[in-house]
Amino acid sequence: MATQSRTEITVETDRVLIIRRSVRAWCRQCGREVEMLSLGEAEALTAASERELCASAQALRWHLSENQQGTCLVCLESLRKQL
């Protein structure tokens, strides 16, 4: 009888993303000042389109707010918890 050998190869990868344009703002849901990202920056983190982000933000329980210019911002803490 022939013996069989099995080889397992594990590949481990890391991803580092540097966010340079975050804004410190008050998050009502967190009850404190946190880093906020624009939808474009959240898009880069999640690899989802802006439309998908808007549609899934509520389901994923991300904390959203608007700045004075009306731009939608995402709480980095809530985003981090879901990734």
- Tokens 């802006």, residue located: 50
75 assigned to some structural domain: yes
Q: Whole domain around residue 59: which residue ranges?
A: 23-82
Q: Tell me the CA distances in angstroms from 46 to 15, 26, 32, 69, 77, one per residue in order.
A: 12, 22, 24, 24, 14
**Does any domain span residue 18?**
no
The backbone torsions φ and ψ at residue 38, rounded to the nearest 5 degrees and listed phi first, read -75, 165
Model pLDDT for residues 9-55, shown as the tens digit of each residue? 888 877 666 666 678 888 999 999 998 888 888 887 777 777 777 77
Residue 74 has pLDDT above 80, yes or no: yes
Count of structural domains, the chain: 1
35 inside domain: yes
Question: In this structure, what token pair is assigned to residue 69?
Answer: 């210019």
Residue 16 resides in a domain: no
- Let me know if residue 69 belongs to a domain: yes
pTM of the model: 0.64
Residue 15 domain-assigned (yes or no): no
Residue 12 resides in a domain: no
